[in-house]
Structure 1
């Protein structure tokens, strides 16, 4: 009985991709992908998605540990706030970042006063927007893994005299490795496909903030064949990231 809804669910995912393949002009496909704007957008997407994934790890791992292990009052409310980007429309997230770090934002004015630089409509803004929408995917996975494993190993290490940093480095982090690998892959894939927050907070400047999803949107207004080809390229890159990197992360965590 499960086959029927399973096939429908698979069709809902696969058939739109098939529609793109049918629509693609295969005779022009290679030439559409090697234009300077397409290559710039692909390069920028890969660089910013990688940087945002690193930021997700550096910020998200400590946050997940705090959410999973802390017993302070209000931790449930804090968890809800952290997961807010998962349910917010990305455009709303972009507006929130713009009014935080823009010229009239309270933090943006401070950055402008200290450095003389503005954050919006720069490559740094792309990384910030991608991190904003991608980090909850990492935090959710890591917090779930920590709660599932419990804290008995950490308690034993602490009773044996291990310092908190030693417990985190030698006990907590090894427990997180499988979930960390999966979370990094999901964060990278989410950052790679980010559109709404990026165009709102960073704009669409060729070579500076125009990532591959923004290039698809830009080309859809002037050359639909190019937009379809770039969409397929984005799909292929995302599939390769998930299919290749995720199994490695699980294998690495099981060794």
Structure 2
């Protein structure tokens, strides 16, 4: 790894400590896995169901994050004033809330006795403790990652290219598709990956709002928590599997040769 000459040498010490703080627990996890029984531990019926549900719901929530987050990030990046600051604060709240509090808030809104959920139930629509609840919980905690990442990329991008395209007669939609989004593609990809990884690892909001019904709402983090009480070896193996899936997703996007995020 090459380092610019304007970086002080002393930064290597706290940087190394930071890497150790993040990396050593992963090493510890690897060392605790019972590799001889790994396949049998992660291929039980409940484990396979939990992994499949996690992948499906994380993918669905990531799609929701893109559909909702890209327009929101664009508006925030191109707006100023009190309303933009207020909206940005709302976006940031899930980042600082304990996930279980987010689950309680979702339950108070979309649950059977929630202020909106009771009206939906009258129409025959039940959200809480369903697979849809898992997707909504994951979206609630992961959407801010995409919005904040993409907004930063949009603010850093040179607006001159979009101005030139608009001057030449391109419509706002065409400018967005052909100029703006390609300019911020690395930031968009980073936001998508962060959102997917966060959704894949979500636990607190999901178990509070969606519960733990095998094959319906029991995602892999919930399965790991439950297995921790009855079979620590299985919990450790599943935890490694979850980390491995996240690492593979990040590695595919951020492989050598790509521009850094």
Q: TM-score normalised to the size of structure 2?
A: 0.91
- Residues 181 and 248 from structure 1, CA distance in 2 versus in 1: closer, same or farther, beyond 3 angstroms? farther
Match of 2:190 among 182, 186, 193: 182
> Where does residue 7 of structure 2 map in the other structure?
none
SS in 1 for 2:230: coil
Shift of 1:10: 1.6
Match of 1:3 among 12, 21, 35: 12
Superposed CA offset, 1:165-193 (max 9, x none) = 22222222222211111111111111000
SS in 1 for 2:155: helix
> Where does residue 18 of structure 1 map in the other structure?
27
Shift of 1:3: 2.7
Match of 2:118 among 94, 106, 109: 109
Match of 2:152 among 140, 144, 153: 144
CA contact under 8 A between 1:44 and 1:209: conserved in structure 2?
yes
Cα distance in 2, alignment partners of residues 103 and 194 from structure 1: 23
SS in 2 for 1:206: coil
> Where does residue 6 of structure 2 map in the other structure?
none
Match of 1:60 among 43, 65, 69: 69
Shift of 1:250: 4.7
Q: Which aligned pairs between 1:176-215 and structure 2 lie closer than 5 A?
A: 176-215=184-223
Cα distance in 1, alignment partners of residues 194 and 257 from structure 2: 11
Superposed CA offset, 1:138-174 (max 9, x none) = 1111101111114222222223332222222222222
Cα distance in 2, alignment partners of residues 17 and 37 from structure 1: 24
SS in 1 for 2:120: helix
CA contact under 8 A between 1:138 and 1:184: conserved in structure 2?
yes
Shift of 1:16: 1.3
Match of 2:248 among 231, 240, 252: 240
CA contact under 8 A between 2:157 and 2:184: conserved in structure 1?
no
Cα distance in 2, alignment partners of residues 249 and 235 from structure 1: 23
Report the number of matched residues: 252
Cα distance in 2, alignment partners of residues 13 and 170 from structure 1: 39
Shift of 1:8: 1.6
SS in 1 for 2:195: helix
What's the Cα RMSD here? Answer: 1.9
Shift of 1:48: 0.6
Q: Which aligned pairs between 1:212-231 and structure 2 lie closer than 5 A?
A: 212-231=220-239
> Where does residue 133 of structure 1 map in the other structure?
141
Cα distance in 1, alignment partners of residues 150 and 185 from structure 2: 9
Shift of 1:129: 0.5
Superposed CA offset, 1:68-114 (max 9, x none) = 01235421121111111111111111111110101121221222223
> Where does residue 129 of structure 2 map in the other structure?
121
Cα distance in 2, alignment partners of residues 128 and 46 from structure 1: 14
> Where does residue 162 of structure 2 map in the other structure?
154
Structure 1 unaligned regions, length at least 5: none
